[in-house]
Amino acid sequence: MSESTAAAPETTGQSFSELPLSPKIQANLQQLGYLKMTPIQAASLPLTLAGHDLIAQAKTGSGKTAAFSLALLTKLNPRRFAVQAMVLCPTRELADQVTQEIRRLARFEDNIKVVTLCGGATMRPQITSLEHGAHIVVGTPGRIMDHLERGTLKLDALDTLVLDEADRMLDMGFNDSIAYVAQHCPPQRQTLLFSATYPETIDKLARRFLRRPQEVKLAEQHEHGKIRQRFYEVKHEERLEAVATLLKHYRPVSTLAFCNTKQQCRDLLDLLRAQGFHALTLNGDMDQRERDQVLIQFANRSCSVLVATDVAARGLDITQLEAVINVDVTPDPEIYIHRIGRTGRGDEDGWAFSLCSPNDHRRVATIAEMTGMEPEWHTLGSLQGGNKSPLLPPMVTLQMLGGRKEKIRPGDVLGALTGEAGFSKEQVGKITVTDQTTYVAVARDIAREAVRKLSAGKVKGKTVKVRVLED
Ligand code: AMP
């Protein structure tokens, strides 16, 4: 599948050579092409390298990972086989990204070990990795707490604790687990807190766990999205119908519906389709191309609902997701947290709905206990789903023969649609170029006309075969 590469962040005029970083680290930064510091790096590194605790306002894409990683790597002693730094993250995706970035920045030494500890994965391999020795641990608070309780993770030698996307961790109900973890860190440590927003709760957290922190605030930031969690009591046999009711009432553009079993995925897909929803599923029997097509349609907003099990949804990273529905309550609170963490990203608000039969109450209680969240119960009867029309996705995916092999670029397709075909930029959505095929999302009301005009015209000087990708 084609990858969209993250744009390089905006940098300042200041270079890393102004900082007291070792020549090896400097050389590695040069190799990575990090020539100038980003604003958050320039503002925070002089403070953190001098040993201060820090509260920094920074979003993903600002270079915040390098900002805290360079501070912790500078203090790290590779010959000391103990966990010296730990980064707490709200989701597994973020933890994986942070781990990757730390590994890149740690390349100046051969043997710095970074271990990721997230929920939803089996414990055993994590325990083995810890036994083999880790210098840096990155993970989600619940799972790290779990390792501390079992005694498989020791933090006596910890020098640096980082709370990444702290506001998001609090939104997701991690308050108590963060407190538990922080209380197990040595008091003589440096604590760095990164957050996109500064609600009162962040202030409280900082006052509890940071010592005389320096603050770094950058220019104007948007309100950060919130995850609103609602629990609905349903009879077991009402579950699937309840998903349709939720969708008709809240009308989210993109929803990820989690089922505990593959059979339930199939049943839900059948029910939703029978009611006119544009729903797709991901399962292990699909080949790569089928999987790509599903993900492309979901990400470009031409599919309203993606139905999946936790395993099938692994690694899925969709930025605009209005809702997550837990068709079943999962017995594992960490999985619950990972599921809901996929909504409310960036500046958007997100919904997290859970359908619970009377037997599920214990599971909800465990989730509430572990996350410190007070479940908000609602009744299905309060929803107006019944007489509303089915939800239609705003976009339709067109599939065009020819891709990277034919040297097609997104700009060529955009040019064909907005040039000769006469459509506006706003009517064209995401364009994904794979090896042999190009997918372009267009507004639903122009789909047929766009197929006709593209087929009659030319892309990159050649006639092309185009069709609507039916879901
Ligand atoms: P982050 O906000 O930490 O997710 O970083 C966003 C992206 O910027 C990542 O892909 C980093 O590899 C990259 N990056 C971070 N700092 C710099 C820098 N000083 N110069 C160029 N790229 C950077």
CA-CA-CA-CA dihedral for 395, 399, 402, 408, to nearest 10: 0
Residue nearest to atom 18 of ligand 1 (CA): 34
Atom 12 (ligand 1) nearest CA: 101
CA 437/CA 318 separation, integer angstroms: 21
Domains 16-217 and 395-468 belong to one CATH topology: no
For a mutational test of ligand 1's pocket, the pick from 25, 34, 218, i.e. the residue with the most ligand atoms closer than 8 A to its C-beta, is 34
Q: What residue ranges do the domains of the chain occupy?
A: 16-217, 227-383, 395-468
Residue 187: other Cβ atoms inside 10 A: 7
Atom in ligand 1 nearest the alpha carbon of residue 36: 19
Please give the distance, rounded to the nearest whole angstrom, from the Cα atom of residue 343 to the centre of ligand 1. 23
pLDDT of residue 120: 81
In total, the chain counts a number of residues equal to: 471
Tell how far the Cα of 66 is from the centroid of ligand 1, in angstroms.
7
Q: Which of 98, 101, 105, 138 to mutate to test the pocket of ligand 1 (most atoms within 8 A of CB)?
A: 101
Distance 9 CA to ligand 1 centre (A): 6
The protein residue with its alpha carbon nearest to ligand 1, atom 5, reads 63
Ligand 1 atom at minimum distance from 62 CA: 2
Condensed to tens digits (0 to 9), the pLDDT of residues 429-450 reads: 999 999 999 999 999 999 999 9
pLDDT score of 220: 43
Under 8 Å CB-to-CB from 306, ≥6 apart: which residues? Answer: 254, 255, 256, 257, 279, 280, 281, 282, 294, 298, 313
Helix (H, G, I), strand (E, B) or coil at 261: coil
- For domain 16-217, the CATH superfamily is P-loop containing nucleotide triphosphate hydrolases (3.40.50.300)
The pairing of strands 395-401 and 437-443 is antiparallel
- Please identify, by atom number, the ligand 1 atom nearest to the C-alpha of residue 97: 4
Q: How far is the CA of 61 from the centre of ligand 1 (A)?
A: 6
Q: Is 89 exposed, middle or buried, given 0-12, 13-18 or 19+ CB atoms closer than 10 A?
A: buried
Positive or negative, the CA dihedral 27, 75, 98, 202 is: negative
Ligand 1 mutation target, pool 38, 99, 104, most atoms within 8 A of CB: 38
With a Cβ cut-off of 6 Å, ligand 1 is lined by: 6, 8-9, 11, 34, 37-38, 41, 60-66, 101
Give the closest residue to 371 by CA, choosing from 405, 402, 326, 335: 335
Distance 105 CA to ligand 1 centre (A): 11
pLDDT of residue 19: 94
Confidence (pTM): 0.61
In this prediction, the residues of the chain whose per-residue pLDDT falls under 50 are 1-6, 220-224
Cβ–Cβ under 8 Å, residues 343 and 317: no
Query: Beta-carbon neighbour count of residue 211 at 10 Å?
Result: 12
Distance from the alpha carbon of residue 12 to the mean position of ligand 1, in angstroms? 13
What's the confidence (pLDDT) of residue 471? 65
**Residue 13: CB atoms within 10 Å:** 7
Query: So what's the pLDDT on residue 263?
Result: 94
Integer Cα distance of 61 and 196 in angstroms = 11
What pLDDT does residue 390 have? 77
CATH number of 395-468: 3.30.70.330
Q: What's the pLDDT at 184?
A: 97
Q: Which atom of ligand 1 is nearest to the CA of 6?
A: 10
Fold exhibited by the domain 227-383: Rossmann fold (3.40.50)
User: pLDDT at position 4, please?
Assistant: 35
Give residue 43 CA to ligand 1 midpoint distance, Å. 15
- Sheet with 395-401, edge to edge strand ranges: 428-433, 437-443, 395-401, 466-468
